Amino acid sequence: MRHALLAGAVTAIICSVVGTWVVIRGMAFLGEAIGHGMLPGVAIATVVGAPLLLGAAASAALMSAAIGALQRRGRLSYDTSIGLLFVGMLSLGVIIVSHSRSFATDTTAMLFGDILAAESGDAVLLCGALAVTLAIAILCHRAFVAAAFDARIAQALGLRPRLARFALVALVTLAVVASYQIVGSLLAVALLLAPAVAAGRWTARIPATMLLASGFGIAAVVSGLLASWHLGTAAGASIAFGAILLAAASTLVRAAVDRIRRRRATGGGAADARAEPPHRDDAPARSIAVPPTR
């Protein structure tokens, strides 16, 4: 359980940092597609006995490259390319795993994760992934911000928006691969989006959003593991559902706080209006004594 908690917390921080940019740039569909795109590599690694993370990383990188190639050279739109590729990769992964004798077990672990099987080596790999994520996020922060507003402005400033987009896609791929063992490929987008959405209701600056989102993500991991322990539910699904609940609760609380502030502001304005005496335009003007001129 200690290794599971550490691995989950580190993964939550990775997904919170990357997820902040995913929400800002509207790249949620890409994260979902890469999650599906991992399946063939994971399936091959399962069948041949290779490390699962290695297979997931290779397959996700191939998926990202294929999306970029179709967008540049093909006539398909961005979302159409993603939709076709992630359905095809998902089907291919299931076909490959179907040759395994432990099809049901392997498929369940791939789709919904197995955080309780995390070991110390997994935690070390995730810490390395966190270091890479933070380094890229810090180095490319200006380029990410400029490209989020206008790619032409970023190009004029010499920030290379295409390279920034490639780096952001690489970060999304890294985050999805890192969260594979925690919540699986189907639920990885929950840790990628929900903490960032929950934090975005309370912050106005990107670094503050990342920091608060990390707190929400860690809270989702802890609450999900506790729910799994006491209720006997699937750990990955419990974590993902906990993240969604936190995002919903954050939205509702923020809306309530805004309503209270508006009511106080309106009530204060009305009180000031009642306290101020009415002004009459037809009130007689005061006579002013003018000394006689000589």
Residues of the chain with pLDDT > 90: what percent?
28
Residue 17 DSSP symbol: H
**Confidence category of residue 282, pLDDT binned at 50, 70, 90:** very low
The structure tokens 């206008």 sit at 150
Share of residues in the chain with pLDDT > 70 (%): 84
Angle CA(14)–CA(18)–CA(20) in degrees, nearest 5? 120
The DSSP secondary-structure symbol of 53 reads H
Return d(Cα 284, Cα 289) in angstroms, integer: 15
Question: Is the confidence at residue 113, as pLDDT, over 60?
Answer: yes
Instruction: Quote the pLDDT of residue 222.
Output: 93
Mean pLDDT of 26-37: 81
| C-beta separation of 21 from 168 below 8 A | yes
pLDDT in tens, 38-96: 888 887 887 777 777 788 888 888 888 887 777 666 666 777 878 888 788 888 877 87
Which pLDDT score, from 0 to 100, does residue 173 have?
85
DSSP letter, residue 246 = H
User: 2 pLDDT exceeds 70?
Assistant: yes
| Structural domains present in the chain | 2-255 (1.10.3470.10)
d(CA 57, CA 45): 11
* pLDDT tens digits, one per residue of 236-248: 889 999 999 999 9
Closest CA to 221 of 115, 149, 293, 121: 115
Q: pLDDT per residue over 209-237, tens digit each?
A: 999 999 999 999 999 999 988 988 888 88
pLDDT of 277 reads 56
Tell me how far apart the alpha carbons of residues 268 and 260 are, in angstroms, rounded to a whole number: 12
Has residue 134 got a pLDDT over 60?
Answer: yes
The pLDDT score that the predictor gives to residue 283 is: 46
CB 165 within 8 A of CB 181: no
Amino acid at residue number 200: G
pLDDT of 116 > 90? The answer is no
The stretch 240-263 carries a mean pLDDT of 93
The whole-angstrom separation of Cα 212 and Cα 198 is 9
* pLDDT higher than 90, residue 249: yes
Q: Does 287 have pLDDT greater than 70? A: no
CB 39 within 8 Å of CB 93: yes
Q: Give the global pTM.
A: 0.81
Contact of 227 with 238, CB cutoff 8 Å: yes
- Sorting pLDDT into bands at 50, 70 and 90, what band is 208? very high
pLDDT band at 25 (very low <50, low <70, confident <90, very high): confident
